[in-house]
Structure formats: structure tokens, C-alpha cells
Amino acid sequence: MDDYVSKPVELADLKAALGRWMGAADEDDVAEAPATSLGIPAGTLDPEVVATLRGLTVEGQPDAFVTLMTLFSTSSTALLETLRDAMARADAEGVARVAHTLKGSAANVGAVRLADACRRLEESLPGGMGAAAAAVVQVEAAFGQVEAWLTAELGSNTSGPAPGGGS
């Protein structure tokens, strides 16, 4: 792709960039499915961001929401493995790097509780690895909530494996 969207990613900018390369669609051509709760705990995902991501899908193209959320799940699962490894090595710099990366990814897909947990993890690091360990538990729990919703949501939208199904 010969384009870019600068960080922090604004969904309108991402939609415009995708539209330039996938062929712009009229507003009527864009799928506007409402966010569903499916038992998701309140505050886990921002329904407006989810609705916007769903709206990125252009008729006749692969489901952008499924693609983006599957990519988020896969990359987040790998980041959590890296986080666990950094914690085991007491690598505060590595923990900070992963927390920062995961925070940005979570914010981009509207996983507000996960993004907030990652922010708290970053803030806990000056208190030592003991404080960070408690914050990692919160990151893992927040990701688990997002992952449970994604598994339920995407399981009905795709024939592939559920997100995060590896390891």
C-alpha cells in the first residue's frame, strides 16, 4: 500500500485511506451493523468504535471488521506471550514496550478496559516488578473479556478458527 495513517490512528482517517485504495464507496454501500453486546461486560469495548469499524466494510469486499479484529486478537495474544516472558525475566523495559504497544492497539479497536489496564501497567513500573505483576493480572483479565466477546462475535461471522485459538 502506498499510503499511511499517522498515530494516533483516527478511524475517519483510516476509512479515508482504505477508501482511496479499495475504491470509495457511497455511504449507502458501507455496511453499518450496530454493535452487539452479546453479554460483554460494560465498559469493555466502546460501542461507537465497534460500529465505526463495522462500517469500514465495503460491499463486495472481505469483512473489514472480522479482518481487523482477528488481526488484533492474533497480535495481542503474541504480545501477551512477550509480556509474560518479559515479566519472567524481570525486564521492566520490555514490559513497558509491550504495554505501550498493546495499549495503542487496544485503543484503536475500542477495547477501552484493556487500553486502560495497559496504561496502569505502564504507570506501575516505577513501583517495581511486584506492582507490575498485579497490573499484568488486570491486563490479562481485560484481554480475556475482549477475547471472549470476539470469540462469540466472530465465531458466527467466519469459518476460520476463533481468534486467539493458538498456543
Domains of the chain: 11-155 (1.20.120.160)
- Which one has a higher pLDDT value, 155 or 135? 135
- Of the candidates 139, 119, 135, the residue with the CA atom closest to the CA atom of residue 127: 135
**pLDDT reading at 77 higher than 50:** yes
- Of the candidates 95, 135, 97, 89, the residue with the CA atom closest to the CA atom of residue 116: 135
How many percent of the chain have pLDDT more than 90? 50
Single-letter code of the amino acid located at 46: D
Please count the other Cβ atoms lying within 10 Å of the Cβ belonging to residue 12. Answer: 10
Task: Give the per-residue pLDDT at 59.
Answer: 87
Q: Which three cell numbers stand for residue 27?
A: 455511504
Q: How far apart are CA 129 and CA 142, in angstroms?
A: 20
The answer to whether 98 and 117 have CB atoms below 8 angstroms apart is no
Per-residue pLDDT, averaged over 149-166, amounts to: 59
What are 106-125's pLDDT values in tens digits?
Answer: 999 999 999 999 999 999 99
- Which one has a higher pLDDT value, 132 or 13? 132
Mapped to the 3 state alphabet, what secondary structure does the chain carry? CCCCCCCCCCHHHHHHHHHHHHCCCCHHHECCCCCCCCCCCCCCCCHHHHHHHHCCCECCCCCHHHHHHHHHHHHHHHHHHHHHHHHHCCCHHHHHHHHHHHHHHHHHCCCHHHHHHHHHHHHHHHHCHHHHHHHHHHHHHHHHHHHHHHHHHHHCCCCCCCCCCCC
**pLDDT reading at 58 higher than 50:** yes
